[in-house]
Chain A
Amino acid sequence: MTEVKNLSEGIFEVVKDKKQLATKNLDPGKLVYGEKLIPVEGVEYRTWDPRRSKLGAMVLKKFNIPLKEDSKVLYLGAASGTTVSHVSDIVSEGAVYAVEFAPRSMRDLIGLASRRKNVHPILADAGKPDSYAHIVEPVDLIFQDVAQPNQAQIAARNAASYLKRDGYLLLSIKARSIDTVANPKEVFKEEIKKLEQAFESKFEILNAKDLMPYHEDHMGILAKPI
């Protein structure tokens, strides 16, 4: 017997043999990255691997995921679209602006976006938010997974241009891409301080936790603009 528990809007825990994180598949019958499809009472669920997705890991780390069916999301660092596909499942009536800089990853992302009407791919540098100002509307959530040394600054700049006043910023900090040598804990502390004070747009940190055991030397941060 398969059991489904609702964890957060659009995010489920499907229990079939074992507990699995899942979203409702917006593109029925199709797989994105070799995940499993589990049909329960006429609804098709797509399992979500927290080891391959920082957002997935954040869900399991009990982060409050501020997404609704009609949310608008600016997704920085979309890569091949593994996590984007789940965000697209969650915001089935909303929009995902998926920014990615690498043409190689964009190739895969285009494949995904052509099957999902709510994903708008943008090949651009997230460090230059002005370059997509003619496309992106104000959003409810900025999710950032860019692994750049100045990622806090990138997040702040994008938030200043695109985040609604009551919106949220959700980011994954990769310690190793900020400083390969320093102690990750120090790096995290430093980055949180930066978000709170360093830039013109300041943030209140609502939650900050490392993403162990799913991702090593990563920290998830949920913040909102002050």
Chain B
Amino acid sequence: MKINTWFGVLGIGRTGEVLESELFSKDIRELARRSIALQENMQDIPPAGFDLKAAAIECRFVESSAEYYSLLHEVTLEAAKLQVSGALTPDQRIIQAVEALDDINETTNSLSERLFEWYGGYFPESGLNGEALALFIAKYGSRENIGSEDPLYSKARNSMGAKLEAADEILLKSFSESVCSLYERKRQIEAYIQDSMGSIAPNLNLIAGPMLGARLISIAGSLEKLANFPSSTIQVIGASRALFKHLRARAPSPKHGIIYSHPLINTAPWWVRGKIARALAAKLSLAARIDFYSGEKDASLVEKLETKVQQIRASNPKPPQKKQDSGVKPKKKRRK
């Protein structure tokens, strides 16, 4: 019987004794590569309970048990390193980008609010906030520096705001510059996601748009996992709280998770949103599968989705009638 081991190919007898052996050289990298290949093909594996270490010593691959373990340690470590470095697929980069974008959004929002409060004491009439305010402060600093060509000139002249001291002005200006650069990074990441979604998941990109598509991949964990999800799961991704409430208690099931941000759903009247969400999720799941397994762009998906949505809208033109209350409260179902 022929068996594959990490240190060589062995021919063994019925009781596990080594009859012949073709040993590999003790090159760590080479052994690690072979080990990974064996892990994938799973051919001629040793029988259950086969003592690899005893066999390695018996066929003189190593002299001692200590040598066996120290070599095995280096080989498994090297193999794991090779596998980890190969595991960083393009969809993982997108996931990092999406999560970085969420972090940046959160940070810029709270920093912008801080800036608004802070500068509000010096120029409350500006009417600016967010990036516009940050740009304004970075440009002028104190409202006294504002030029007469600026539309805010007269407001700045007659402002009830306090006078901005030089030390505070320096601080506020550099703070605003940081905020501005965060807005800049945000646009840069968005552009990056848009670019890479087109090449990594073209169909998903077409149906969901880059941001929603990237978010779906991010929550699923990878494009592969997203492709393996049933469409009913895709429909409620991002609504896990509502979903588990529904599963545990008698709460209604969620109609949509983050796919709510898709224009087909959030512009639809409320009574067809659930139906459209279902149709959209079905096509998203198809798109993710095509993207993961073939990668070819299929424009017919979008058309089919649009026809389906029109059908749904056409057959449900009016909101459903509310059920008449018969005066008697329906008996509560017992909790399981």
Contact = CB atoms under 8 A, between A and B. Distances in A.
Interface of A: 95, 103, 106-107, 109-110, 113-114, 117-124, 128, 130-138, 160-162, 164, 180-181
A110 B80 contact: yes
14 contacts: A103-B83, A106-B84, A113-B73, A113-B80, A114-B77, A118-B69, A122-B76, A123-B79, A123-B87, A131-B42, A133-B45, A134-B4, A134-B39, A162-B48
B233 interface: no
A122 B75 CA distance: 10
Lowest 7 CB-CB distances: which A-B pairs, in order? A103-B87, A133-B45, A120-B76, A121-B80, A123-B83, A134-B38, A130-B42
A110 B81 contact: yes
Nearest to A103: B87
B248 A181 contact: yes
Q: On chain B, which size bracket covers the interface? A: 20 to 34
B49 interface: yes
Interface string B71-103: 011001101110110011000000000000000
Interface string B46-77: 10111111000000000000000110110011
Contact of A117 (B4, B53, B73): B73
A117 B69 CA distance: 8
Given A117-B69, A135-B35, A130 B76 contact: no
B247 interface: yes
**Mostly helix, strand, loop or mixed at chain B's interface?**
helix
Interface of B: 4-6, 35, 38-40, 42, 45-46, 48-53, 69-70, 72-73, 76-77, 79-81, 83-84, 87-88, 244, 247-248
Contacts of B244: 180-181
A135 B48 contact: no
Contacts of A124: 39
Contacts of B70: 117
Contacts of A121: 76-77, 80
B72 A135 contact: yes
Q: By CB atoms of chain B within 10 A, which of A118, A119, A138, A162 has the most?
A: A138
Contacts of B69: 95, 117-118
Contacts of A117: 69-70, 73
B264 to A, nearest CB: 30
A66 to B, nearest CB: 18
Nearest to B38: A134
A107 B84 contact: yes
A45 to B, nearest CB: 25
Given A124-B39, A131-B42, A133-B46, A106 B72 contact: no
Nearest to B247: A181
Q: By CB atoms of chain A within 10 A, which of B72, B81, B84 has the most?
A: B84
